[in-house]
Amino acid sequence: SVKALEGARGEQQLGVLVNLLQRIWTHLLKWSGPVVTMKMARCRFLVVVLLASGVGHKGDDLQERIPRKKGTYEGTEKIRWHLEQAVTLLEHFPLVGLYSQACKLLGMENLDGDAWRTAAVLSEAAAVTLRHQFLITLHKQIRNHQKESAADNGRNSALEKKRELEALIAARDSVLFPWGTGRFQQMGQSVMSEFQDIMQVNRTASKISCKVKWWSTRLELDMRLEGLLETIERRWLGAWRCLLLGQTSDSTYEGLLAAAAKKLARNLSTLLNTAVSVKMAKTLLELSHSADTEHHLPIILSHFLHIDADAPQMGGLVTALTDARPTVTPTPNQPVVLILDKNLHALPWENLPVLASQQVTRVASLAALHLMLQFNAGDSSVLQRGVDQTSVFYVVDPDNNLKYTLDTFKDMFSRQQGWKGIVGERPNKAQYCDALTQHDLFVYCGHGNGSKYLSGDELQQQRCRAVSVLMGCSSVRLDVKPRLDPDGFVFNYLLARCPSVVGNLWDVTDRDIDRFLKQLLDLWLEGDHDKPPSLPALIPAARLACRMRHLIGAAPVVYGLPVTLTKS
């Protein structure tokens, strides 16, 4: 396939393929909603993939969409076959825009087919560019190790370098792999337009000189963003918000759930006159806790039991489900990992009511998650042993123009045992690299994301050990391009193996974001915890310290792994 694409015939095939995908895309948008979610449980994580394949297309009136039903138009199998061929042709060397589009189209077309195959191709559509970047970075590191090993005559050093080289090669070879998940309802453009308008007004509000108008404008934006988040949960997700609930490790609840599932399976089998498995009954019970009884449960039961939502027996099924629910309400205490489509990265999903109290992190793709887990599998990794309270490096107000930030953190940080840092001056490259590679936690309280002190290429070549907290404006914002994957400086931290990065999705005010950071550190350093808390678990409580609970409190998010914070 690669050789065919290199020749004239290959170029002709590629042109035909592009044309075919464009025609199929136009055709499918008439029949299928543009949003799909994927849910996958894997030992320690609940992974949710959100796709927005059609957001932003002109003339995309979702209210006039024809509901997707299997067999509603001719040529389904032929289209699916062409898409399978397209993905096969491209997967050996994925072209960013084309490969992602082909995978999304195949996933949308196959929604009523094999769930695992659908999940696999949809997960392949995420962050193709970052996968290429991981491969490039790993290849450079492998090449450098080979050169160093050839020049080193020391036996012990050579053995150590050989082990490191083998680990790098294993990581490189594991970048591509299959994964997968389920689906949501369609969403439209109105919410995205409202969010973009809020962000635009937020950027211009900083120039308002009148203090009263400044406050009134920001309070209005805060309320608008709160309403927008409620709209996303109510209208976009609806009954399927239950898919965003993390897992629980409560053994008492698990025992009650197992007994309730057996009872429910018997009752549903009787009502439907067909066998319902205990596994299906358990799934329905888990999903029902966050569902509205009148509106959501019929939708969930209809989908999983393959009956009409208006069927005569639906009332009895809803009653059987609600009566069987354990009296103990589960509390999700395991991480939820979000993999977001390029059009959805900007939205603060972590602040939806269903997620607001949970520990949530983001990763670019399942391939990136797999690599990060592999990079941090050793006992010396902060993912395994936790962040040491005494191994912290900080940079506070490096441009010397954030007086409130300086006054807030200068004395607080200097009092902490073992903490090192720079206050009121710019770090050099050596200091910045040392902060990331020789400490467990790096706290940056300045403008932006630190790119002015260390370039992306220089950062990628580091082996970062530290969890990075970047409190500058838009420090983890991603730039979305029409045909390419989103890109942002935060990816350089992840490429450099930072296990976790905390940063802001948009521009924030220094005083309110300082309140967030102070509360986050206080919860870690002074909190009374039965066991070491994870960093994402402390974020929801830290948001409450902000006066603008949504306009500022919703901006900080976590990229990477749910690391724990230990105390001395």
391-421 pLDDT per residue, tens? 999 999 999 999 999 999 999 999 999 999 9
Q: Both tokens of residue 554?
A: 């919703």
Is residue 38 classed as helix, strand or coil in its secondary structure? strand
Kindly report the CATH number that applies to the domain delimited by 359-560. Answer: 3.40.50.1460
Task: Flag whether pLDDT at 287 surpasses 70.
Answer: yes
Work out whether the CA dihedral 498, 350, 251, 259 comes out positive or negative.
negative
Q: Both tokens of residue 108?
A: 């949308």
Give 162's pLDDT tier (boundaries 50, 70, 90).
Answer: low
Q: Both tokens of residue 390?
A: 């005494």
Query: For 73-87, 421-435, 500-514, 530-544, which range has the lowest pLDDT when averaged over its residues?
Result: 73-87
168 close to 23: Cβ distance less than 8 angstroms:
no
Q: Please give the pLDDT value at position 149.
A: 59
29-85 pLDDT per residue, tens? 444 333 333 333 333 455 565 655 433 333 333 333 333 444 444 566 776 677 777
Task: Flag whether pLDDT at 367 surpasses 50.
Answer: yes
Sheet (strand 467-470) strand order? 35-42, 45-52, 336-340, 360-362, 556-560, 500-504, 467-470, 441-445, 392-396, 420-423
- b/e code 288-304 from CB counts within 10 Å (16+ = b): bebbeeeebbbbbbbee
Q: Both tokens of residue 49?
A: 């993939």
Q: Please give the pLDDT value at position 175.
A: 46
What number is the average pLDDT over the span 315-335? Answer: 86
Distance CA 62, CA 32 (A): 10
Taking each helix axis as running N to C, give the angle between helix 278-288 and helix 251-272, from 0 to 180 degrees, rounded to the nearest 10. Answer: 110
Domain extents for the chain? 1-30+69-110+112-182, 190-240, 248-324, 359-560
Distance CA 456, CA 413 (A): 28
When the pLDDT of each residue in the chain is averaged and rounded to a whole number, the result is 78
| Encoded amino acid at 395, one letter | V
Q: Is the pTM for the entire model greater than 0.75?
A: no
Distance CA 59, CA 64 (A): 10
Q: Please give the pLDDT value at position 235.
A: 83
Candidates 105, 113, 121; CA nearest to 31 is 105
Task: Output Rg (C-alpha) for the chain, integer angstroms.
Answer: 25
Q: Please give the pLDDT value at position 64.
A: 34
Q: Both tokens of residue 315?
A: 């009332």
Taking each helix axis as running N to C, give the angle between helix 96-109 and helix 8-28, from 0 to 180 degrees, rounded to the nearest 10. Answer: 40
Q: Please give the pLDDT value at position 213.
A: 94
